[in-house]
Amino acid sequence: MDSLWTKTASLPEFPALEGDIETGVLIVGGGMAGVLCTWQLARAGADCVLVEADRIGGGITKNTTAKITAQHGLIYDKLVSKYGEETAGLYLRANLEAGERYRELCRDIDCDYEELDSFVYSLDDPEKIRREVEALRLLGFDAAEETELPLPFKTAGAVRFPKQAQFHPLKFLAAVTKGLCIYEHTKVLELGPGQAVTNRGTIKADKIIIATHFPILNKHGGYFVKLYQERSYVLALQGAINEGQGLRGMYVDGSAQGLSLRSHKDNLLLGGGSHRTGKPGGWQGLEAFAKEYYPQAKITARWATQDCMSLDGMPYIGRYSRGTEGLYTATGFNKWGMTSSMAAANLLTDLVLGRENPFEGVSDPSRSILHPQLAVNVFEAAVGLLTPTVPRCPHMGCALKYNAAEHSWDCPCHGSRFGEDGRLIDNPATDDRK
């Protein structure tokens, strides 16, 4: 179940915290978002420390498909219709600026960075494609409608985003962590105003950023109703493409249940099979697709990933809640974690340092929660709480479901996952299952 990234890169090791310390900014969580926040703050001259309960890059970052793109599905027509041109334009600009920051950084980092066009296609609805292109042109972005794609199946067209990118996330992470103050195997047990109690000592900090994928502090922010988690699956197929040619782009279905395709050297990365965590799923659909369209290809790696999904399709980046001064978070990246991590680092660095940022209102975690997905989240939580079976999730007591594909116990309420031995795999739970 190791991803292609973990098979082809190694990360530096960092010591565990020993004793109490003080810092200006504490970042909790060593995935891409936490590391980029730490890197940017350190570059700005801030006194900052990152703590990670296990190893840096050991959570969702190692399981990404690693696309760097402002094209997040067919989202811009929806954003223009729902929030207007200004908000949609700010969201687009924040992600384009994140992509540009990666471009600048990767000039000096050997991380298989490759600039490519990105495509969102539809199998059966060309009108959705036309509306998305029109919305993007309204926002001043040079998107184009494409009718012919180098894919082995027919589509009804696609939206092309020029000059997006893909990379090797762990090679990148290994480079940007050099020189940063990082403590691994240092688990935060309790958060209070201006301090975090860990298993290795207490850290006092003027400001704290929670970058733990799903926020771990339950009593503020209401993230247990504002977020849910989805699992999806990836196969690395060797022999499906010719090395050096790739796919000449990155591709994703505009449908939430569709496929994602990109290349890495002589491997095709085929993703899909998305479903709410705690529901049935696995690699079967991807394997059937590969057998039909790439019968000579060999599966060289398979892995699964998990994504925090917000209520309205935009992430939650900013103050943890209105009542938590000096506490910030970045979550709800909606399957676009690499670009969103950089956008989060750009915004949170400004907020922590007291600088103005035009994107603050777009991703404000305290914005309205009155969206249809809220009712779905509340319903799933109620079912999970009222189901009279064991085992239970230590996060909020929901009944866990057995995941036969991955041999784990998963929570359909909020997405915590546990090994068959009870060991915690994915948060928001912070403790092993008893």
Cα gap 98→346, rounded to integer Å:
8
pLDDT the model gives residue 1: 81
Looking up tokens 């491997």 gives 267
Structure letter (DSSP) for residue 129: H
List of the chain residues with pLDDT < 50: none
Looking up tokens 């771990």 gives 216
Nearest Cα to Cα of residue 32 among 365, 342, 310, 343: 342
Beta bridge partners of 267: 238, 264
Those residues with Cβ within 8 angstroms of residue 169's Cβ, 6 or more apart along the chain or in another chain: 5, 32, 57, 61, 62, 64, 66, 111, 338
pLDDT the model gives residue 243: 54
User: What DSSP letter does each residue of 151-180 carry, written as one string?
Assistant: SSS--S-EEEEEEEEE--HHHHHHHHTTT-
Cα gap 6→288, rounded to integer Å:
25
pLDDT the model gives residue 434: 79
pLDDT in tens, 374-421: 999 999 999 999 998 889 999 999 999 999 999 999 999 999 999 999
pLDDT the model gives residue 245: 56
CA atoms within 13 A on the CB side of 228: 23
Q: Which helix (H) or strand (E) holds 90?
A: helix 85-106
pLDDT in tens, 236-290: 999 888 655 567 899 999 998 899 999 999 899 999 999 999 999 999 999 999 9
311: left (phi over 0), alpha (psi -120 to 50) or beta: alpha
